[in-house]
Amino acid sequence: MTDALLTAHDLRLRFGETTALDGASLRVRAGEVLALMGPSGSGKSTLLHCLAGILTPESGQVTFDGDDLAALTDAARSALRRTKFGFVFQFGQLVPELTCLENVALPLRLCGVSRREARVAAAGWLERLEVDDVAGKRPGQVSGGQGQRVAVARALVTRPTVIFADEPTGALDSLNGERVMKLFTAAARQTGAAVVLVTHEARVAAYSDREAVVRDGRVREQEFAA
């Protein structure tokens, strides 16, 4: 695929005696929402972490925009995760001591953006994710669905090229999960960000453009019908 933005080729990784990835290969196009599906223990979260440069495979190659992630320095990979990559985790992982507005502004502050400019941008994303009413509250004072939309706003605030989402609705009921996915995918498509989405739920995968099934550390890519 000539238009692949992010690629994994023949990734292999073991944790002790357990094989997590066994020749996994994957391609992610710019701007697409790709769902990684598979049973627990299939290797889908490990694959996501390798694609994001959090884990380094024992063999194989991950490239982003033509660059081999393994060839980058630790500092360069960290900078990539601050600027080009965004992350949404199952439990949000918001900083409990900060308000929701401060949580969303934090990635911009880490990139050197002024406090005022970061707060203005953060407020705009909270409004787009329909949680501007919780801007002054701390994560422990908001519902799970609200907190996860704050986490999505935090992932989008730097306008990343790729967003990695690991079971983003796994801790939510179906109603809140649907609302999060609807707002998340709409916002990502508006910014042109690609999304790599780990899920085991068909209703969540339905928001994607394409899916790849991970099983026993290998990947089968599938095109959705137009």
pLDDT of 105: 98
pLDDT of 68: 95
Establish how many alpha carbons lie within 13 A of residue 203's alpha carbon, considering only the half-sphere containing its beta carbon: 14
Which residue type does 151 have? A
Query: Is the confidence at residue 92, as pLDDT, over 60?
Result: yes
The rounded mean pLDDT for the chain is 93
Looking at 51-171, which runs of residues are DSSP E strands?
A: 59-64, 67-68, 85-88, 162-166
pLDDT in tens, 120-171: 999 999 999 999 999 999 999 999 999 999 999 999 999 999 999 999 998 8
* DSSP 8-state secondary structure symbol assigned to residue 42: S
Establish how many alpha carbons lie within 13 A of residue 71's alpha carbon, considering only the half-sphere containing its beta carbon: 8
The H or E element spanning position 212 is strand 210-215
Could you please state the CATH topology (level 3) that the domain comprising 1-84+199-226 is classified under: Rossmann fold (3.40.50)
Tokens (6 digits) for 199: 């899920």
Residues in the chain: 226
Query: Which residue ranges make up each domain of the chain?
Result: 1-84+199-226
pLDDT in tens, 206-224: 999 999 999 999 999 875 5
pLDDT of 226: 37
pLDDT of 225: 40
Positive or negative: CA dihedral 211, 195, 101, 89: positive
Residue 149: strand, helix, or coil: helix
| Contact in structure between 157 and 101 (CB atoms under 8 Å) | no
Backbone angles phi and psi of 118, in degrees to 5: -65, -40
pLDDT in tens, 163-198: 999 999 988 999 999 999 999 999 999 999 999 999
Backbone angles phi and psi of 77, in degrees to 5: -65, -40
**pTM for this predicted structure:** 0.92
Residue from 8, 114, 137 nearest 61 by CA = 8
Residues 57 and 59: their CA atoms lie apart, in Å, by: 5
pLDDT in tens, 99-114: 999 999 999 999 999 9
pLDDT of 134: 97
pLDDT in tens, 53-66: 999 999 999 999 99
Residue 109: strand, helix, or coil: helix
Chain center to CA of 114? 25
Residues 212 and 6: their CA atoms lie apart, in Å, by: 14
Q: Which residues are bridge partners to 35 per DSSP?
A: 197, 211
pLDDT in tens, 5-57: 999 999 999 999 999 999 999 999 999 999 999 988 899 999 999 999 999 99
Strands 210-215 and 67-68: unpaired
Percent share of the chain, pLDDT over 70: 97
pLDDT of 223: 57
